[in-house]
Every structure is written in structure tokens, then in C-alpha cells.
Amino acid sequence: MFSSPKNHPSFQPQRRWLLKSCASGVLLGAGGFGTAAWAAQSPLALSTAINRAGRLRALSQRITKAYTQVTLDVLPERSLEVMALGQNLVRTSLVELGSAALSAEVGSLLAVCRTESEHLLSLASGAPTAARLGDINKAADQMLASADRLTGGLEGGGKAGAKIINIAGRQRMLSQRIAKCFMLIEAGQDASVLTKQLETARSEFVLALDALEAAPVSTRAIKDGLALARMQWVFFQSALNGKDKAVARRDVATTSERVLEVMDSLTGLYDAALKELLGNVAYSDTRYAGQFQPEG
């Protein structure tokens, strides 16, 4: 049973978590997109490639959300950790996707996404400042658009069932886009544009959740995950509607993380279910939202 946002443990910095992550190889070096270790990975299954491309969409918004939170002094140490891990996961995802057997068309989409991703990571390097928020947000949305085209290109190369991975994975992005828009509004950015984007993302999240619940691809674990997503969505909405600014900022930061975690888990469940239909290859899977829980 999960408690309301006010009772949920905040994601404070954890030295043990950092050591554990480094020991497991989750936090990669900052230099370049490829290393010999990742180049040796087996090619991705199509469903997993769609999952990874969709993950880039969420990371573009998540990095920007965390960057903005630092400028607002919202869980700043934890937000810096989120930024650093997000940047490493962008690099990891691009290396993994480079191991997939892509068509020339999809390979071109990946090249564009790589360029847009490098641009965002370059802007997000160094200490976050409010003066860069506009440029960071623009770069994030450019990366989002290119990652979305890449995900669509991969989805189009598979069977019809691959669409469910795209829908589930896109929910991760929407959770982060909503929180990002909220934080940018709090930081004094263009409220009229950002409010519209926030409300659009809210509506899309609910519609997609309805679609997932109605989809023929389902297991008991998927059904339980969807029920949990509904519950966490209520908590997230409560945080977004909070009247106390300081409390609302903190609660949006933490509940958006929880929605991300739940939707990432669901995407993994759909990935596993779809592998039976789309085929599978040997692959050492790497999740990302679940790695952000503090140790008990």
C-alpha cells in the first residue's frame, strides 16, 4: 500500500545508493557514447529497442525537470543526482540502440536523436542556472521530438502489437513533461505556453491509461501495475493542485518520480509480454526508474 505524497519518503541523497550504483556499472563514465563493454552487447529485441527509444523521450524531460528543480532549491542534491544519472542513461540508451539491426531510415533517425541528445547534455553540463532554463527547455523538446520520431520508426518496423510498448513507454515521458512544465512555471518561464503543454500532457496521460487498460495484451502483473498507476496518478494530481508553493514543489518532484517508476515497470512488463510475439534475443536488461528508490 502506498501512502499519499505528504507521507511518501522523499528521494534524499543516498551515499550507499551511489556506491551501489557505481559498483553495478549503472553510472557510466561521462566521456562519449560508446565503450568496449557496451559495444559487446547482443543486438536488441525489437520490443526492447522501442522501449529504449521511448526512454530517451522521458529522459529529455526528466533532465530538464531536475535542472529546474535545482534552480528552485527543490531537493537540490537529489535533483543533481537525477541529472547526472539521466545524462549517463541517455548515453547508455544510444549505445544500446546502436547495437540494434536498424534499417537505413531508422538509422538516420537515430543519428538525429544522437545529435539532439548531445546538444541537451552539453547545455545541461555545469552548475544549473536560471538564465539557461529557456535554452535547456528548447533543447529538451527538440530531443523529445527526435526520440519520438525514432520510436515511431521502430514501431513501424514491427508487428501491430509493438504499439503497446510505445504507448506505455510514452507515459513515462508524459509524467516528466507534466512535472517539468510545472517547475518551469514556478521558475517564472512562459506560463501561458507551459500551462497549455501541461494540461495537454495531463489529458494524454489519462487517455493512454484508458487505452492500456483496454488493450488485449495483459497479464495479472500488468493489471496490478495499471491499478497502481491509477492510484499514483491521483497522488500526482493532488500534488500539482497543492496550494502551498513550497510543499507543492516538493510533492510534484517526488510523486512524478513515483509515477515514472510505476510506468517504467509497466513498460517492462509489456516488453516481456511482447517478446513472445515479436521474438527475443539474449539481452542483459537495464531499467532506470527503479534505480531511484532510496535504500530502506
Total-model pTM: 0.80
Decide if 272 is inside a domain: yes
- Weakest mean pLDDT among 87-91, 92-96, 152-156, 222-226: 152-156
Task: Tell whether the model's pLDDT for residue 295 goes beyond 70.
Answer: no
Nearest 5°: phi and psi at 113? -60, -35
Decide if 294 is inside a domain: no
72 neighbors 250 (Cβ within 8 angstroms): no
Distances (CA, A) of 109 to 21, 124, 149, 217: 31, 23, 7, 28
Q: Which three cell numbers stand for residue 193?
A: 505556453
Domain span at residue 101 reads 41-284
Give the residue, 134 or 166, on which the prediction is more confident: 134
Decide if 174 is inside a domain: yes
Decide if 22 is inside a domain: no
Q: Given this model, what pLDDT does residue 217 score?
A: 83
Q: Given this model, what pLDDT does residue 24 score?
A: 31
Q: Give residue-wise pLDDT tens across range 118-132.
A: 999 999 999 999 999
213 neighbors 204 (Cβ within 8 angstroms): no
Decide if 8 is inside a domain: no
Average pLDDT in the chain: 81
Interval 243-262 mean pLDDT: 97
Give the residue, 21 or 264, on which the prediction is more confident: 264
Q: Given this model, what pLDDT does residue 54 score?
A: 93
Decide if 11 is inside a domain: no
Domain count along the chain: 1
Decide if 36 is inside a domain: no
What is the distance between the alpha carbons of residues 52 and 260, in angstroms, rounded to a whole number?
A: 15
Interval 86-97 mean pLDDT: 95
Q: How many CB atoms lie within 10 A of CB 220?
A: 7
Task: Tell whether the model's pLDDT for residue 11 goes beyond 80.
Answer: no
Give the residue, 87 or 15, on which the prediction is more confident: 87
Any idea what the Cα angle at residue 193 is, between residues 191 and 196, rounded to 5°?
100
Decide if 6 is inside a domain: no
Task: Tell whether the model's pLDDT for residue 75 goes beyond 60.
Answer: yes
Q: Give residue-wise pLDDT tens across range 18-67.
A: 333 333 333 222 222 222 223 334 567 787 888 899 999 999 999 999 99
